[in-house]
């Protein structure tokens, strides 16, 4: 994710020439020296360090990206806020709602601007869906269903990386994928009030990693150790508005690679989106001739911010482009002082939903958010 943020900063001016801010990549930290050096050799940073505190302490640094494993987010964010530095923090902002609350409070106290890596919100099709919902085009909303199911941890030989350990990651799929889905649900339909969830760990042990691999590293025949957090969650949610819905997340689903979907059904119409087809939105609005069923709408320049990336409909935007949009929002905020969404406050709202899901998994009952 450090690479993705770095590239996003470099690309902002290409796509958003009117962005108020411009990033200079001053200093990158990675505890692994070779990776820190790669930030200079490959990513365009002027300097590198193995201690993240050097980044915060550097007077030339106005703003920081927090892309380390989850357990460091709170500590780095609090240090950044205390030094008056704005931050772009990856999700989940904390290992728990309490940690996320600390970060949100620190940012508020220090008056620094934040943006959080709920990048899928930035997809033109998602923004279009949000406009259709809020304009009333679909009529009063009746149902919501969403899935974020991926297979990145489906192979039981996948190494026991930091993502599977409580101390390093906190929650499992709740923090990793459900955090996106909880944010999306609340972005589209407002606050979730209560949840009931089934929380499961399907792959209970994994081989210890051999070296400095990523969570995609596969280890054949290694020594096994326990997975400490959940990999699959199925939930029913009830929004404050009274609408009910379902949200499911898993990191061990064989088949889908990044099936991140939502469907919103109103009284008159519906929308349906799948990240695996990021640039399409299925829209159902009743036609005068009586035709029914979804129509496939291709994103084009009339669906902001698509025109910043491609000149005509049907050309593809990709995942990394969403991060360029996120970077431009962050730089705008740093310069004009206007807090944009999703920031630490929205991360806290999502974290509270995740906590209620975890509690419900243990209690077997509805839990208030």
Ligand X SMILES: NC(=O)c1ccc[n+]([C@@H]2O[C@H](COP(=O)([O-])OP(=O)(O)OC[C@H]3O[C@@H](n4cnc5c(N)ncnc54)[C@H](O)[C@@H]3O)[C@@H](O)[C@H]2O)c1
Q: Tell me the longest C-alpha to C-alpha distance in the chain.
A: 65
The CB-of-50 to ligand X minimum distance in angstroms stands at 7
CA distance 268 to 132: 12
Rounded to whole angstroms, what are the CA distances from 7 to 45, 47, 72, 105, 350? 11, 16, 22, 29, 27
Nearest residue (CB) to ligand X, 67 versus 127: 67
Nearest residue (CB) to ligand X, 89 versus 299: 89
Nearest residue (CB) to ligand X, 68 versus 189: 68
As beta bridge partners, residue 206 has 225
The CB-of-141 to ligand X minimum distance in angstroms stands at 26
Rounded to whole angstroms, what are the CA distances from 305 to 20, 84, 314? 16, 30, 14
Structure tokens at 37: 């050096």
Nearest residue (CB) to ligand X, 117 versus 269: 117
Nearest residue (CB) to ligand X, 50 versus 134: 50
Nearest residue (CB) to ligand X, 30 versus 321: 30
The CB-of-364 to ligand X minimum distance in angstroms stands at 28
CB 323 within 8 A of CB 309: no
CA distance 298 to 312: 10
Nearest residue (CB) to ligand X, 90 versus 367: 90
The CB-of-81 to ligand X minimum distance in angstroms stands at 18
The CB-of-174 to ligand X minimum distance in angstroms stands at 12
As beta bridge partners, residue 283 has 271, 295
The CB-of-94 to ligand X minimum distance in angstroms stands at 10
Among 297, 294, 267, smallest CA distance to 281 is for 297
The CB-of-30 to ligand X minimum distance in angstroms stands at 4
The CB-of-357 to ligand X minimum distance in angstroms stands at 17
The CB-of-165 to ligand X minimum distance in angstroms stands at 12
CB 367 within 8 A of CB 194: yes
Structure tokens at 191: 């606050």
The CB-of-365 to ligand X minimum distance in angstroms stands at 29
Contact positions vs ligand X (CB under 6 A): 1, 29-32, 35, 52, 67-70, 72, 90-91, 117, 119, 176, 214
Nearest residue (CB) to ligand X, 85 versus 194: 85
Secondary structure E strands in the chain: 27-29, 47-49, 63-66, 86-89, 114-116, 141-150, 192-200, 205-207, 224-226, 232-239, 244-250, 258-266, 270-274, 280-284, 295-298, 367-368
Edge-to-edge, what's the strand order for the sheet holding 244-250? Answer: 295-298, 280-284, 270-274, 258-266, 141-150, 244-250, 232-239, 192-200, 367-368
Nearest residue (CB) to ligand X, 45 versus 52: 52
CA distance 138 to 157: 45
Nearest residue (CB) to ligand X, 119 versus 232: 119
CA distance 170 to 149: 19
CA distance 116 to 293: 36
As beta bridge partners, residue 207 has 224
């Amino acid at each position: 994710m450090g690479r993705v943020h770095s590239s996003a900063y470099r690309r902002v001016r290409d796509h958003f020439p009117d962005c108020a801010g411009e990033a200079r990549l001053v200093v990158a930290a990675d505890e692994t020296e070779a990776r820190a050096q790669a930030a200079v050799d490959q990513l365009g940073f002027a300097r590198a360090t193995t201690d993240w505190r050097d980044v915060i302490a550097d007077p030339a640094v106005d703003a920081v990206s927090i892309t380390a494993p989850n357990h460091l987010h709170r500590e780095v964010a609090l240090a950044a806020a205390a030094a008056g530095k704005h931050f772009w923090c990856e999700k989940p902002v904390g290992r728990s709602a309490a940690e996320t609350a600390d970060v949100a409070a620190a940012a508020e106290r220090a008056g620094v601007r934040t943006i959080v890596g709920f990048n899928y919100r930035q997809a033109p099709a998602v923004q279009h869906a949000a406009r259709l919902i809020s304009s009333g085009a679909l009529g009063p909303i009746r149902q919501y269903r969403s899935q974020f199911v991926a297979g990145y941890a489906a192979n039981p030989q996948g190494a026991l990386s930091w993502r599977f350990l409580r101390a390093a990651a906190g929650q499992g799929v709740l923090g990793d994928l459900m955090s996106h889905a909880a944010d999306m649900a609340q972005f589209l339909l407002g606050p979730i009030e209560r949840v009931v969830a089934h929380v499961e760990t399907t792959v209970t042990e994994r081989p210890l990693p051999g070296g400095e691999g990523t969570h995609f590293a596969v280890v054949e025949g290694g020594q096994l150790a326990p997975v400490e957090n959940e990999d699959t969650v199925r939930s029913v949610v009830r929004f404050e508005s009274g609408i009910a819905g379902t949200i499911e997340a898993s990191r061990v689903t064989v088949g889908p690679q990044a099936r991140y979907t939502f469907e919103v059904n109103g009284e008159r119409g519906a929308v349906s989106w799948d990240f695996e087809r990021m640039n399409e939105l299925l829209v159902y609005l009743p036609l005068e001739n009586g035709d029914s069923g979804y129509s496939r709408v291709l994103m084009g320049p009339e669906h902001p911010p698509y025109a910043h990336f491609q000149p005509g409909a049907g050309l593809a935007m990709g995942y990394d482009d969403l991060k360029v949009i996120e970077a431009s929002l962050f730089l705008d905020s740093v310069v004009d002082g206007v807090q944009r969404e999703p920031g630490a406050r929205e991360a806290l709202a999502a974290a509270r939903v995740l906590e209620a899901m975890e509690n419900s998994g243990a209690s077997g009952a509805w839990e208030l958010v």
